Structures are given as structure tokens and as C-alpha cells.
Structure 1
Amino acid sequence: MSSQPGESGEFAADGLGCHKPIHSPRRLKVICIGAGASGLLLAYKLQRSFDYFDLTIYEKNEDISGTWFENTYPGCACDMPAHVYTYTFEPNPNWSSVYASSREIRNYFDCFATKYDLRKYISLRHQVVGAIWKEETGEWEVDVKNLEDGTIKHDSCSVLINATGITNAWKWPEIDGLYDFKGPLLHTALWDASVELEGKHVGIIGNGSSGLQVLPAISPLAKKVTNFIRGPAWVVQSRTFESRTYSEEERRRFAADPELFLAYRKQLEMNVNELFPVLIADSPAQRDMLDATKKQMQNTLQDKALEELVIPTFPLGCRRLTPGPGYLEALASGHVDVVFGEIAKITEHGCVSATGQEHHVDVLICATGFDVSYRPRFPLIGSSGGSLAEAWASEAQSYLGIAAHDFPNYFMFIGPNSPCGNGSLIVAVEAQADYMLRMINRWQTENIHSFMPKKKAVEDFIAFKDEFMKATVWTHNCKSWYKNGDHITGKVTALWPGSTLHYLEAIAEPRYEDWDFKIISNRFAFLGNGRSQVESDSAADWAYYVRNEDDGPYLSRLKRAKLVSRSGSAVRQ
């Protein structure tokens, strides 16, 4: 779908473009991969701020919402408070509980797409299977597979944006004999609701976020549950991660009183943001919260043997902080067995532990997560002729989590080193979208052929990131998808070197000096015919700069930060 200009707005063939006013927009064509939270936000922001554009979002699924369309397992929910996991400008007073279900979250994004008429940009059941940068045209040539009939469509765009996310490519565990199992074999990201769990002995592999959610949800149905875990995990129960249902009266007041509701949302967000000091190794905040969490886990489990298996010795936050409502209670119920350590193999009847003991189960659930290598799942060929998968084979190195050297006019949402370990991703996604559109605005209104981050800029950022990480809990000896390689001793590749608030400030304005811009002909062709955009609008105020007081923006970063954060207005609880 497209928003068509009355005139093409293109620069003249000689590159000087003297027939248009300054900053006249040229046709912009964007292809976005994925219609989850990031892709929908991009469509909204592009539609809100731009004219003269074409946007196509290719989505492989039968419907929108990405992760929240795909994950339907019992107990599936976001591990952040629901009122934090919304677009900052689009609150929802009707969440049923602090941790909304995947069904509710999917409905939120569905309503958002309907409200802003975003479906017109989306091609469902279409999967991008290849993309190659063409230097001569300054465009991406994109191959798209129609999953209904198997045909391949060839498309092209000025800017390519990857919004597939980091929890999109689920994977089976690499365990010998997995497919020898004769009972129903399920993955949390490929749930089969027709499989009967009632009265069955169910095995669950994993104790990450999905494992912590699915176990308490199915435990009341199953005859018995065996949870196979490779390592312990912190299960956080604090004010920030309180689990409860909202009453009808609370939801009514949220809807009726926007200011009250805003204050509540802000308090939740501040609670989350105040957790960052916990992630600094050996800090007072780390020690205090670790001690409190350990005591809470002990009080819930009330079993010394279980405590030794489940409670970690590594710092709190080395793996993602997880609330896990009901998980510890289920472990302590006597209805659940915990088998600790690697699974040696899987047989027709169940799992063989590292000790050689075979544990028979009727149904086996793999809560084993996703491919988080950050390498594109299709050939993405850049300006040097190499693929991004090859460039990132040993380590994913992004520019500020949004771009990569040698890949012009290409952005990614939640790329390597984004703030995905210390709060809701939604606010970071919004900041990334704004950054992308600032760059795209320059492309559209200046005679720019292409742009990409400089190699030295990426190298310097990675060097800074690596040094910063030494002070955090993330580098400690725990198995985490935050890390590269073996996920235990590898470099931290997933996380931003700082807090979420730090990230918002860091990318609020592009550092254009970090980018290589290739210009079409004369760099000043955008100056056009000597007329301004204001002069092309007869209904505009041609003296807009004359005023009674100085109401212009502040020009220092510090002053702007104090203004946008309303410094002095917040009261800590």
C-alpha cells in the first residue's frame, strides 16, 4: 500500500534538482520484515510523520502480532507488567492482570492495527527469503515467498527494515534421540492444544521464561510433572514483579481518570527503571535484592534439597529477571519432580539423565527457547558482497543495536546490544523507530544515495561495550542467551552497556559523523529552486519566526533532558 504524491518529487537527472523547493521529498519505498510489535509501530510512525511513501510489511504468519500470535501455550504471558508492555502513547486500561496473557497482548496489537488502519500495509503469509543490495540503483532487491502457493515474488525498496525480533525462530533442543520419543512431543512456541494433558505424566525440558510459565499452568491437570533443568534460575518476587489480578473497579477508574491511570503507569515504569543498579556486580543494590530474593525462594520451597537445585549461586540478573508466578509453589507442591543437569538422551519412553537414570513420561514439552544468534534467517547480502550471517558468524556486532557496517539503508529492531535485559522492550523499540525515521527523513529530503555506519564507529562502540560489561553481573558464570558462543563464558552480545534510560538518551539524536553517506551528484542539490517549503504553501504563516517570546527548543542536551523528563516533578515512593 502507498501514500502517493501529487508529483514525483524526484531530483533532476543531473542531480541538481533545481525545479523544486528546498527539502522536497522524493518517493520513499520501505520494506519491513515482520508485523509484530516493532513492525506495527514502524507503520504507525511512518504513516503519522511522512508523505510520499510506499510501505510493505511482509509477515510469514497467518495474522499479525508476531511472538504473541505464535506462542499460545498454557500460562503464556509477558514477563513484564502489562502496563509497561504497551506503546507509551497507547495505554490500555483493560488489562486483566499485572502479567497479561498472550491472548490479551495479541488482542492489544490487533486493536492497535485496526485503530490506525495499518493492515493495508501488511502482506500475510509472505516470507522474505533473500535480499541483496544493488549499489548501482541504491536499492535492496528482495525475494519474497508466498507461503500459500510457493511462488517467489521479486520486490525492491530504498530502505529495508528487519523487525523479526529475537524470539521468533524457535528451536528444538539438540538432544540425541529427540524424535525417538513415542508420545506427543510439543514445543512451547508450536503448541498443539489437541494434545490431552489431563491425567498424564508430563515432562518439561527447561526453566527459562516459558518453562516457568507453562509448569504451574499444566500442573493441576497432569497426574505428575517432571521438570528437567540444566541449571538454577532466580525467580523474582518483588514490588516491581508483583503478580495479581486487577479488579473491575480498578479498571473502571483507569478508564475514567486518565491522570490517575498515567500516574500508575509512570510508577510501574519507574519501578522497573530503578532496578538497573541491581545489575552492577557487587553493588549494594545487587546484594540487597539477591538476599531478599533468596529468602523469598527459600520460604516458598521449604525444602533444602530442592533449594540446592533451584536457587542459583551466580548473581541476580546474570540471566533475565523472571517473575514466574506459581512456579516455586508448583515445585514445592510434591506434584513435581526436579531432575537437574543435562539430558544424556531421549528414548521412546522419556529422558535419560546424566546419571543414567531413565525418567518415563507420557508427554514431553520442550520449553527450550529460540535461536538468538542475531544472524538473519535468509541470505542478506551487503555492499561488499558478503552476507550478514557470515559477517556475524563469530560475533554479532551492531551499531547501537540498529544497524550494521557494509549493509546500506538497512535497519533492525532490537539488534545486538539493545536494552533487552533490564526492562520492557517497547520503549526501546519506540526510540529505535524514531532514530530510523530521522535517518530516512534525510534520505528522502536530500540527494542521498545511501548511508551505513562506519566500520570504525562500530568497532569503537563494541570496544566501549565490552569494557562496560566487565562491571556488570551479565559477564558472570551463568548460561544465558545474552552471551555469544557457548552462552556461559562468551562476550555479552545481546545487551546495551547501560540502562534503558541511558539508551533513550544515547540514540535521541543521530551522530551523523558515525555514518558514511554516499551522495547523488552535488551534495547541495536539495537546496532546489531557491524557495522554501513554506513559500510553496499559500495558507502558511510566512512570518512564523516572529513572536512575543522565545518559545524555541533548548539547544543544550542537558537543558533538553531536564525539560523532557520534567525534572523536579517526580516523587519517589
Structure 2
Amino acid sequence: MSSDRLSRPIHSERQVRIICIGAGASGLLFAYKLQRSFSNYSLTLYEKNADIAGTWYENKYPGCACDVPSHNYTWSFEPKTDWSATYASSKEIYNYFDTFSQKYGLRRFCQVNHQVVKATWNAARNAYDVRVRDLASEEEFDDTCDILINAGGVLNSWKWPEIPGLQQYKGPLLHTANWDESINLEGKHVGLIGNGSSGIQVLPAIQPYVKKVTTFIREPTWVSPVPGLEQHVFTAEEKQTFANNPSHLNEYRKEIESGMNGQFSTFMRATQIQKDTKEYMTGQMKEKLQSPELSNLLIPDWSVGCRRITPGPGYLESLVADNVQVVYGNIDRITENGCVCDDGKEYAVDVLICATGFDTTFKPRFPLFGFNGENLQDKWKDEPQSYFGIAAAGFPNYLTFLGPNSPIGNGPVLSAVESQADYMLKLIDRFQTHNIATFSPQPEAVKDFIEYKDEFMKGTVWADACRSWYKPTPEGPVTALWPGSTLHYMEAMDEVRWDDWNVRYQGNRFNWMGNGYSQTEVDQTADWGYYIRNKDDGEHMSRGKKLRIMNKSGSKQPTAQSGFSVFPKI
């Protein structure tokens, strides 16, 4: 490689082989951004499902939707004009990502029905040996890559509840993330375990047509949309306005995004917005429940935001419907007929739905061996510790989307995914144009980041003693969330801090300088005097000046910080 580089101009792009695990939203975005900016690469997205779009392909339970306003559950550069409602269904969201993949030709990178089952760092070749299973034939084969990207997602590995006797149940047993659409619920007595996001969406969707629902709830949770972001079905005229007036749509999206970004103070303890939001949501829940008994059981004592807030259109109203029975407490065991709870009663049901979530430990779903044969599954068994949510010390040339301590509950999430993709591509660009063998975060950098994160979290509502997938136990540590807002994360990720990374080279580290010629001189169509100009229109060198230009500082009137951010009218 060194002699080859010495015969080429500076910054010559070597061939880079990349494997990305997963063709959900993150994997598709990575493929789009890579093909938009890079050449001389190969990319394969191995997707275990029969189709793309990840969680939006997998989750097909009644009422499945996103809890982020639909016009902002898109890539920043790729709006959609015809969303049906403020909170769109999983099918609509799947169609958005499917259309995105077709528009930019991304399916050519995707190998569906293929699951990565093992990855091992090969120090002799500075590459990963990747074992892949073809789920259609059940045959396995080996692949290799210079850089391994994990876009497998967070809420991806669903799990049954750990309740004794679960498999003894004789009726249809369903999990929201593994839904069997052949099961007809109409006229049935349905048991529903869980009041997380999926349980909150399922109940109002099935309540109108089932005979009865017995919903098992073991703890309270906050359920209410943020003021101004209540559910709304868009009219044909509104959709037409969005389609015909891009500036109107863009302004609408910006106002929602600004409003979501303005909510971060909610997650800080003892702020006025936290106090106002708690008071507002308490009032909303009491008004919709119209039941002092249920209000006392279901409205939490802990702060708003300790668990992920769910808008929950129709959920609270469904709890007090005539055909809904609320059983509050723990399920001790499951029998052939239903659930035995800590009140000593057995509740028999015709169908049992488990809305009980996912394995959110952040461990890879497959053995991943890095330097010295260490398995990341073992390293992250008790507490996952990443660098800025994208990398792990000791695992070279390995990057992950939405890893530990990413901003998945801090504000707009897809904006953060875009920042992660851009950061990865900056690393890949340096890898491709320099004679780098490996890059990985320094253990000391990860240690310092975790110490900073843990100290920051003490001042947030996430540290309250609530049960949440943001942390392994109610007492913490907070392993899922970034120590700051989404905008804070985007600024932190704006450029690569190379002093936090271990970089190893093949041969002389300056061989990337090549044969003394620039890339400009080998391009006969380029302007070889491109830097000569009439005025200084170059990029500003200070971070502050660049940021003020980028965020259009001064373009808006300042607003006083109040209890709530202002969301737009349509």
C-alpha cells in the first residue's frame, strides 16, 4: 500500500470495503450519505428481515405509530407532504423509508434475509472477518470488511416478559413486536400486559371491537401530548398546501423542531418548565381519566420525562371504557387460562398480548471480538460504555448508530442520527485518504466521557427512581441518553476530536502525501487558480463565527423562556 500511495497524488482514495448491519432508518441514511459523497468503496447492508425499514417493518400491531410528529420524523433534507396525521402509523412510516430507498437507489446495497452472527477482528489483515447466515437457505458464509457499522437499532430485540408459566398459556400468545396478523381479536376477551409506548398504542386501537380488555399495569407513567402537538388528522386542503408551498411546509417543520428542541429544560430538575409541564400533564390525565382511583394509581410521583413521555391519543379515555378492566399490580404467574396477580385472583382471557418491550442492554446481538479477542457482549454486559454513542474502546474500525448515551430521548432523534452518520463519514474519509490501519476511541477518553456523563445526569429527571429502559435499574446509571440536548449533541459531533482517538498507520504516516502532486493538478478540468478572488468569501476559522452563520443567529426575535415552547398552528 505504501509504494502504491507514493506513486499517486496527495489524498488518493483507496478502495474501502464497508459492511453495515441493518437496513433500517440508520442503515439507509448511511448508504445514502456514503453514495452521495464517496467513490471507490463497496458497501453491503445485511438485513435480517425480509424487507428494509427495521422497526417500521417489524412492528405491525394495532395502533402502532411514532410518538414524534410525523412531519419531523423525516430526514432534515427529505420532507414528506402527505402525512395523514400528526402521529402517523407504522405503515406510513415504512412507506416513507421505502420511498426514500427507491428514490436514491439504496436497495442495491441491501441483502435482506441475511443475519450477521459473528464478527472477529483480524489483526493480520486489519479487517473484520464477518460470519453471515442466509436465513432463506440457513447456510452460512464469510465476508470481510475494513470498517464495520452496526445499525441494528435499539428497540430491535424484543423479549417476552419474565413471568413464571408464560409458555403454559393455552390461548393465542402475542408480542407487539412479533405480531401475528392472522389472529382475530374481534369479540374476544383480550389480556394486555404493559403500559409502555406499545401498550398505550394498542389499547385504544383494539378497545372498540373486542369484547373486553383486561389491561395489567404494574406502575404509573406519564401519558399526554405536549401542548400544541395533540393528534390532528390533516385535511386534503392542508396536504395540498404542504405540497404546493414548500416554504410553508419548511417553516411548519422548523417551528415544530424548534419547539421540540425548546423542551430540553423539561428534563432538568427544578426548572420552571418541568414544574409547569408536570402540572399540565397531571391536569390532562385527571381530566381524561375522570376517575380519582385511577388517577391516584396511574399518575406518577416522579418527574415528567424520567421515562419516555408518550402522547397516547385515546389511551386514558379507553381505560375508563365500559369494556376495559384495569388490574394494577404485579403478575405473579401465568396459567393455562390467564394471569394470577398479586391480589390472589386469576384473570382468564381468550388472547394474551405482551406489550413488554425489548432487550435494551446495548450489547451487540452477535459475538463481536476486537483487540486481544475481547467480546463486546461481555465488555458491555453490566454497563455499556461508549464514546459519544458511536464507538467502543478496543474495537477498531467499528462504529454504531444510537449506541449507549445517544440523544434518543433528548429531543429530535433523526437529527442526531444524521450527525452520527456525518461523523462516521468524516472518519471514513480520513481512513480512505490516509494510510490509516485502525482507529478506535482511547480508553481514557471513554472513561472521562462516562465520568462527565454520570455527573451531569445527577441534575436531570432521568436520575429519578423510576423504572425506565434508559437505565438498567431505577437507580441508574443512565446508559441510554446523551448528557445534554440534541442541539448540544449536534455541536459536540460537528468535528472529529482526533485527540480522543487511537490512530495506527501502515508504514510511514506521511505516505498519504504521495508523489508531490495535488488532486487539483491531476484534474485537467479543474481551476488551478481557484483561490484567487475579488473578496474574502472563505470559511470563518472560529467555531463561534461559523456556528452563528450556520444557525442564522439574529434571524429571529428572542423569546422569553416560559413553561412551554410554542408549537405552530397548521
Fold match (TM-score > 0.5): yes
Give the SS at the match of 2:42. Answer: strand
Deviation at 1:281, TM superposition (A): 1.1
Is 1:377 paired with 2:377? no
User: For residues 18 and 240 of structure 1, what CA distance do their matches in structure 2 show?
Assistant: 61
Residue from 179, 183, 201 that aligns with 1:195: 183
Contact 1:200–1:363 under 8 Å retained in 2: yes
Give the SS at the match of 2:177. Answer: coil
Deviation at 1:83, TM superposition (A): 1.0
User: For residues 63 and 397 of structure 2, what CA distance do their matches in structure 1 show?
Assistant: 40
In structure 1, the partner of 2:134 is 146
What aligned pairs does 1:504-519 form with structure 2 within 5 A after superposition? Answer: 504-519=490-505
In structure 1, the partner of 2:461 is 473
User: For residues 394 and 544 of structure 1, what CA distance do their matches in structure 2 show?
Assistant: 55
Contact 1:145–1:153 under 8 Å retained in 2: yes
Amino acid at match of 2:505: I
User: For residues 42 and 421 of structure 1, what CA distance do their matches in structure 2 show?
Assistant: 21
What aligned pairs does 1:457-496 form with structure 2 within 5 A after superposition? Answer: 457-484=445-472, 487-496=473-482
Deviation at 1:284, TM superposition (A): 1.0
1:438 and 1:325, CA in 2 relative to 1: closer, same or farther beyond 3 A? same
User: For residues 96 and 269 of structure 2, what CA distance do their matches in structure 1 show?
Assistant: 37
Residue from 310, 315, 321 that aligns with 2:303: 315
Deviation at 1:440, TM superposition (A): 0.5
Deviation at 1:76, TM superposition (A): 0.3
In structure 2, the partner of 1:162 is 150
Contact 2:2–2:507 under 8 Å retained in 1: no
In structure 1, the partner of 2:533 is 547
Give the SS at the match of 1:143. Answer: strand
Contact 1:77–1:213 under 8 Å retained in 2: yes
In structure 2, the partner of 1:347 is 335
Residue by residue over 1:372-392, the C-alpha shift from the partner in whole angstroms, topping out at 9 and shown as x without a partner, is 000011110001211001111
Residue by residue over 1:348-377, the C-alpha shift from the partner in whole angstroms, topping out at 9 and shown as x without a partner, is 111011121111111100000110000011
In structure 1, the partner of 2:268 is 280
Contact 1:201–1:363 under 8 Å retained in 2: yes
Residue by residue over 1:105-153, the C-alpha shift from the partner in whole angstroms, topping out at 9 and shown as x without a partner, is 0000000000000111111100000000111111011000000111111
Contact 1:80–1:423 under 8 Å retained in 2: no
Deviation at 1:561, TM superposition (A): 1.1
Is 1:533 paired with 2:524? no
Deviation at 1:562, TM superposition (A): 0.8
User: For residues 570 and 345 of structure 1, what CA distance do their matches in structure 2 show?
Assistant: 58
User: For residues 18 and 333 of structure 1, what CA distance do their matches in structure 2 show?
Assistant: 76
Residue from 108, 118, 128 that aligns with 1:130: 118
In structure 2, the partner of 1:102 is 90
Amino acid at match of 1:424: P
Residue by residue over 1:236-258, the C-alpha shift from the partner in whole angstroms, topping out at 9 and shown as x without a partner, is 23325311111111110111111
Amino acid at match of 2:536: D
More displaced, 421-430 or 112-121?
A: 421-430
Is 1:32 paired with 2:20? yes
In structure 1, the partner of 2:487 is 501
Residue by residue over 1:483-506, the C-alpha shift from the partner in whole angstroms, topping out at 9 and shown as x without a partner, is 12xx21120000000000000000
Contact 1:11–1:26 under 8 Å retained in 2: no
Q: How big is the alpha-carbon RMSD for the aligned residues of Structure 1 and Structure 2?
A: 0.9
User: For residues 171 and 34 of structure 1, what CA distance do their matches in structure 2 show?
Assistant: 19
Is 1:562 paired with 2:553? no
State how many pairs are aligned: 559
More displaced, 229-238 or 542-551?
A: 229-238
Deviation at 1:335, TM superposition (A): 2.3
User: For residues 110 and 276 of structure 2, what CA distance do their matches in structure 1 show?
Assistant: 48
In structure 2, the partner of 1:423 is 411
Gaps of 5+ in 2: 560-565
Residue by residue over 1:240-288, the C-alpha shift from the partner in whole angstroms, topping out at 9 and shown as x without a partner, is 5311111111110111111111000001111111110010012111011
Contact 1:240–1:271 under 8 Å retained in 2: no
In structure 2, the partner of 1:7 is none
User: For residues 441 and 556 of structure 1, what CA distance do their matches in structure 2 show?
Assistant: 23
Give the SS at the match of 1:535. Answer: coil
Contact 1:59–1:122 under 8 Å retained in 2: yes
Gaps of 5+ in 1: 1-9
User: For residues 543 and 475 of structure 1, what CA distance do their matches in structure 2 show?
Assistant: 57
Contact 1:237–1:296 under 8 Å retained in 2: no
In structure 2, the partner of 1:182 is 170
Residue by residue over 1:276-335, the C-alpha shift from the partner in whole angstroms, topping out at 9 and shown as x without a partner, is 001001211101110010011101111111111111111000000110000001012232
User: For residues 126 and 468 of structure 1, what CA distance do their matches in structure 2 show?
Assistant: 40
Residue by residue over 1:447-497, the C-alpha shift from the partner in whole angstroms, topping out at 9 and shown as x without a partner, is 00000000000000000000000000001011000012xx21120000000
Contact 2:410–2:482 under 8 Å retained in 1: no
User: For residues 454 and 240 of structure 1, what CA distance do their matches in structure 2 show?
Assistant: 44
Is 1:12 paired with 2:27? no
In structure 1, the partner of 2:196 is 208
Residue from 378, 385, 388 that aligns with 2:376: 388
In structure 2, the partner of 1:4 is none
What aligned pairs does 1:245-256 form with structure 2 within 5 A after superposition? Answer: 245-256=233-244
Residue from 382, 395, 398 that aligns with 1:407: 395
1:257 and 1:530, CA in 2 relative to 1: closer, same or farther beyond 3 A? same
In structure 2, the partner of 1:290 is 278
TM-score under structure 1 normalisation?
0.96
What aligned pairs does 1:224-235 form with structure 2 within 5 A after superposition? Answer: 224-235=212-223
In structure 1, the partner of 2:435 is 447
Contact 1:80–1:241 under 8 Å retained in 2: no
Amino acid at match of 1:341: G
User: For residues 285 and 2 of structure 2, what CA distance do their matches in structure 1 show?
Assistant: 65
Contact 2:436–2:505 under 8 Å retained in 1: yes
Is 1:260 paired with 2:248? yes
User: For residues 71 and 257 of structure 2, what CA distance do their matches in structure 1 show?
Assistant: 8
Contact 2:261–2:412 under 8 Å retained in 1: no
- Structure 1's consecutive aligned runs of 4 or more residues displaced over 4 angstroms after TM superposition are none
User: For residues 465 and 384 of structure 1, what CA distance do their matches in structure 2 show?
Assistant: 28
